[in-house]
Structure 1
Amino acid sequence: MKFRKDINGLRAIAVIAVVFFHFNESWMPGGFAGVDVFFVISGFLMTGIIFKGIENDNFSVLNFYISRANRIFPALAFLCLILLVFGWFYITPLDYKALGKHVASSMTFLSNVVYWKESGYFDAVSHGKWLLHTWSLSAEWQFYIIYPLVLVSMRKFMSVKVMKATVLFGTILGFVFCVIATYKWPNPAYYLLPTRAWELMVGGVAYLYPIVLKKERKKILELFGLLLIVGSYFLISKDNPWPGYLAFFPVLGSFFIIQSQRDDSFFTGNIVSQKIGMWSYSIYLWHWPLVVVIYYFSLSDKFIYVGVFLSLFIGFLSNKYVEGVKLKSSFSSFSSYLKCKPVYILLGVSVCGSGVFFTNGFEYHYSDAVVVASNESINRNPYRCMNDHKFPCYIGNEKNIKAIIVGDSHADALTTAVAHSVDLKKEGVIALTMSSCPFVLNLMSTKNGDKCYKENARRIEYLESNYDSVPVILVSRMGAYLYGQSNPQRVKDISDIQPSVYFTKPYTKVEDLLYDELKFNLSLTVDKLLINHPVYIVQPTPEMRKNVPATLARNLLLDNGDYDLSIDYGLYIQRNERLRNLINEVSIKKNIVVLDPAPYLCHNDRCLAQIKGRPIYYDGDHMSEYGNKLLTPMFKLVTEKNIN
Structure 2
Amino acid sequence: MQLNPMSQDRLQSSTDQHAPEKRRYRPEIDGLRGIAVLAVVLFHANFGSSNAYALQGGYLGVDIFFVISGYLTGVLVLTDLRRQTFSLRDFYIRRARRILPALFLVLTVTLCLALLILVPQPLVDFSRSLVASIFFAANIFFWWRIDYFSEPGELTPLLHLWSLAVEEQFYLLFPPMLLLVWRCGRQATLCLMIVATASSILLAFHNGAVDAAGTFYFLYYRAWQFLIGAVLAKMRADHRDSRHPFGAVLPVIGLGLVLCSLVLLGSRGAIGMGSITVVIGTSLIIVGDRGPAFWLLTRRPLVWIGLISYSLYLWHQPILALGRSYLVNAPGGSTLTLLLSASFALAFLSWRYVEQPFRHAAINREQLAASAILTVVMLVAAGLSSLLTGGFPGRYSQVQQHLLEITPERGIAYVEGRTCTRRAIVDACIIGRPGTKPHFAVLGDSHAETLTGPLSDLLNRNSASAYVYTDAGCPFIIGVVEQNSNSHCDEYNNDAFQALKANQVSDVIISDRSTAYMLGTRFDNQEGGIEPGLPFPVAPVGFRGDDHARTLAVASQLRETLRRLAENNIVVYYVLPVPEVGWNVPRTLVKLIAQGHLPLTTSLAVYLKRNEKVFDILNEFKDNPKIIPIYPHKTFCSAVSGRCATHENDEIFYTDTDHLSRQGAEKLVAATAKIIKFHD
Calculate the TM-score normalised by the size of structure 1. 0.73
Say yes or no: does 1:371 pair with 2:401: yes
Q: 1:446 and 1:186 mapped to 2: Cα distance? A: 30
Return closer, same or farther for 1:266/1:344 CA change in 2, 3 Å cut-off.
same
2:64 to 37, 44, 62: 37
- Name which of 302, 308, 317 aligns with 2:334: 302
| From 282, 297, 320, the counterpart of 1:254 | 282
Q: Deviations over 1:313-347 (max 9, x none)?
A: 21122234444465999xxxxxx9xx797677556
Match of 1:91?
Answer: 118
SS of the residue corresponding to residue 219 of structure 1 reads: coil
Deviates more, 1:74-83 or 1:115-124: 115-124
Quote the RMSD (CA, aligned, Å). 5.7
Paired residues in the alignment total: 619
What residue in structure 2 maps to residue 333 of structure 1?
none
- One-letter code aligned to 1:203: G
Of 339, 347, 350, 1:315 maps to 347
> CA 1:18–1:500 in structure 2 vs 1: closer, same or farther (change >3 Å)?
same
Give the Cα–Cα distance (whole angstroms) in 1 for the partners of residues 132 and 483 of structure 2.
33
- Residue equivalent to 2:390: 360
Alignment of 1:593-604 (within 5 A): 595-604=630-639
Which of residues 13, 30, 41 in structure 2 aligns to 1:8? 30
Q: Is the 8 A contact 1:616 1:624 kept in 2?
A: yes
In structure 2, the CA distance between the partners of 1:547 and 1:245, relative to structure 1 (3 Å rule), is same
Per the alignment, do residues 584 and 25 of structure 1 end up closer, same or farther by CA in structure 2, a change over 3 Å counting? same
- Whether the 8 Å contact between 1:327 and 1:341 is mirrored in structure 2 is no
Any unmatched runs of 5+ in structure 1? 330-335
> Structure 1 residues 51 and 608 mapped into 2: Cα distance closer, same or farther (>3 Å)?
same
How big is the shift at 1:221?
1.3
Deviations 1:384-432 (A, max 9, x none): 989x9957699999965888867765456545434553669x9999989
Aligned residues of 1:8 and 1:277 also touching (Cα < 8 A): yes
Report deviation, 1:364: 1.7
The one-letter code of the counterpart of 2:294 is S
Among 454, 476, 480, the alignment partner of 1:417 is 454
CA distance in 2, matches of 1:398, 1:145: 65
- 2: distance between equivalents of 1:166 and 1:289? 38
Match among 645, 651, 659 for residue 622 of structure 1: 659
What residue in structure 1 maps to residue 609 of structure 2?
A: 574
1:316-355 to 2 correspondence within 5 Å? 316-324=348-356, 326=358, 345=375, 348-355=378-385
Matched, 1:540 2:577: yes
Describe the superposition over 1:557-576 as per-residue Cα deviations: whole angstroms up to 9, x where unpaired: 445xx534322323112223
Taking the aligned partners of 1:398 and 1:285, their CA distance within structure 2 comes to: 59
Structure 2 counterparts to residues 237-248 of structure 1, below 5 A: 244-248=272-276
Alignment of 1:165-564 (within 5 A): 165-170=194-199, 172-173=201-202, 176-177=205-206, 181=209, 196-210=222-236, 214=243, 217-236=246-265, 244-260=272-288, 265-295=294-324, 296-297=326-327, 298=329, 301-324=333-356, 326=358, 345=375, 348-376=378-406, 378-381=407-410, 410=447, 413-414=450-451, 416-418=453-455, 420-421=457-458, 475-477=511-513, 479-481=515-517, 482-486=519-523, 502-503=542-543, 506-507=544-545, 509-513=546-550, 516=553, 538-559=575-596, 562-564=597-599
1:255 to partner: Cα distance: 1.4
Report the Cα distance in structure 2 between the residues aligned to 1:99 and 1:437, rounded to whole angstroms.
38
Q: Residues 514 and 464 (structure 1 numbering): CA distance in 2 closer, same or farther, change over 3 Å?
A: same
- Does the Cα contact within 8 Å between 1:609 and 1:617 map onto a contact in 2? yes
Describe the shift of the 1:271–1:439 C-alpha distance in structure 2 as closer, same or farther (beyond 3 A).
same
Cα shift readout 1:36-80 (whole Å, capped 9, x = no counterpart):
322322333455567778999998889877765654444333322
Determine the C-alpha separation between the residues in 1 that align with 2:600 and 2:349: 40
- Aligned equivalents of 1:277 and 1:612: distance in 2? 52
Q: Distance in 2 between matches of 1:534 and 1:105?
A: 60
**Matched-pair identity in %:** 25
* Greater Rg by CA: 2
Shift of 1:229: 1.8
Residue 227 of structure 1: how far off its partner (Å):
1.8
Paired AA for residue 130 in structure 2 = V
Compared CA separation, residues 490 and 19, structure 1 to 2 (3 A): closer
- In the TM superposition, residue 310 of structure 1 has moved relative to its aligned partner by 2.3
Contact 1:227 1:253 in 2 (8 A): yes
Q: Secondary structure at the match of 1:567?
A: strand
Query: Structure 2: how far apart are the matches of 1:550 and 1:310?
Result: 25
CA separation of 1:492/1:543 partners in 2, compared to 1, >3 Å: closer, same or farther? closer
CA distance in structure 2 between the aligned counterparts of 1:116 and 1:328, rounded to whole angstroms: 35
Gaps (5+ residues) in structure 2? 1-10, 12-22, 49-53, 424-428, 525-529
For the 8 Å contact 1:475–1:538, the answer to whether it is kept is yes
Which letter maps to 2:397?
S
Structure number with greater CO (CA < 8 Å, separation at least 6) is: 1
Which of the numbers 108, 119, 129 marks the counterpart of 1:102?
A: 129
- Give the whole-Å Cα distance in 1 for the aligned partners of 2:671 and 2:471: 23
In structure 2, how many angstroms separate the alpha carbons of the residues matched to 1:4 and 1:364?
53
The CA deviation string for residues 205-260 of structure 1, in whole angstroms up to 9 with x for no partner, is 4334448763773322112222222233344569x888631333322211111122
Aligned counterpart in structure 1 of residue 643 of structure 2, from 606, 614, 634: 606
Cα distance in 1 for residues equivalent to 2:613 and 2:343: 45
The 8 Å contact of residues 174 and 198 in structure 1, kept in 2 or not, is answered as no
Q: Which sits farther off after the overlay, 77-86 or 28-37?
A: 28-37
Distance 2:181 2:470 in 1: 51
Q: 1:261 to 1:538 in 2, by over 3 A?
A: farther
